[in-house]
Amino acid sequence: MYSLYRKEIKSYLSSLIGYIFIGVFLIIAGLFIWVFPNINNVLFSNMASLQGFFDTSKFLFLFLVPAITMRTFAEEKRSGTLELLLTKPFSDTQLIAAKFLASLTLLVIALLPTLLYVISVYNLGSPPGNIDLGSTWGSYLGLIFLGATFISIGVFASSVTSNQIVAFVMAAPLCFIMYFGFEFIYSFEILGTVGFFVKSLGIDYHYKSFSIGLIDTRDILYFVSVILIFLISTRIVLLSRKW
């Protein structure tokens, strides 16, 4: 599987898509955090907090993550290399895992330069160091889980079509629904006691815990479960070619 993983990483870094993803993410996030006057701007809010960065990032991930995953299987299908890959001595599960981990690695690489934001806010605090590091690291972990969940959704969407644009159009709304849809349904009070259960099915409910530095095993289990559901669904799609 490692050779597959290396192949996928190289495909990202040898083409523009990986650099575009990293560049667009860093530029837009940086503009909103440091330049544009808005509630998420650290200098504008006069608070030694990166909460604005994490709030901005989750919206960027809604569109950027489907953009990097739309080619994972769709491009293989379009070019006819998927069947060739599936004849190699590795399983469908290994192929899916390699593509998932490669996309996740690219996402982590995009997040690494933002550690400069932590250093900057740390030194801008009054006194210096007046920043909730527990909440910050918890938010980073939550952002990685969020990105991994969106990646699993994007990989699934890419597996059901040979058109990258269709994969993106499927993945982006599905990510949006998984994040905000259940919260929206919960807003209708007619659900009564069932409403809280519906709300807990959404990503937003579990991501909020990470954003305040609260790392709960139930939230981790939720994200891992959703990721596995979509990756298993991807495998079912690939297996359906044999039916």
Instruction: Categorize the per-residue pLDDT at 34 as very low, low, confident or very high, splitting at 50, 70 and 90.
Output: confident
131-190: pLDDT as tens digits: 777 788 888 999 999 999 999 999 999 988 888 899 999 999 999 988 887 676 666 666
Contacts of 206 by beta carbon, 8 Å cutoff, 6+ apart: 200, 218, 219, 222, 223
Would you say residue 86 has pLDDT above 80? Answer: no
Please choose, from the candidates 32, 35, 147, 136, the residue with its C-alpha nearest in 3D space to the C-alpha of residue 100. 147
Predicted pLDDT of residue 117: 86
- For residue 170, the number of C-alpha atoms closer than 13 Å in the C-beta half-sphere is 21
Of the ranges 20-34, 96-110, 139-153, which one carries the lowest mean pLDDT score? Answer: 20-34
Q: What is the mean pLDDT of the chain?
A: 83
Predicted pLDDT of residue 232: 94
- The residue ranking higher by pLDDT, 82 or 232, is 232
Would you say residue 194 has pLDDT above 80? Answer: no
Three-state SS annotation for 173-216: HHHHHHHHHHHHHHCCHHHCCHHHHHHHCCHHHHHHHHHCCCCC
CA distance 31 to 191: 40
Predicted pLDDT of residue 192: 63
CA distance 36 to 33: 7
Domain ranges of the chain: 2-242
Distances (CA, A) of 76 to 68, 85, 144, 178: 14, 9, 26, 26
The H-assigned helical ranges of the chain are 2-13, 16-30, 42-45, 51-69, 74-79, 81-86, 92-111, 115-124, 133-159, 164-176, 182-186, 194-200, 203-211, 217-239
DSSP 33: I
Would you say residue 243 has pLDDT above 60? Answer: no
Instruction: Over range 198-220, report the average pLDDT.
Output: 81
Would you say residue 76 has pLDDT above 80? Answer: no
End-to-end Cα spacing for the chain: 25
CA distance 153 to 201: 15
Which two structure tokens, joined as six digits, stand for 218? 């139930």
Predicted pLDDT of residue 16: 83
Please choose, from the candidates 151, 155, 157, 156, the residue with its C-alpha nearest in 3D space to the C-alpha of residue 233. 156
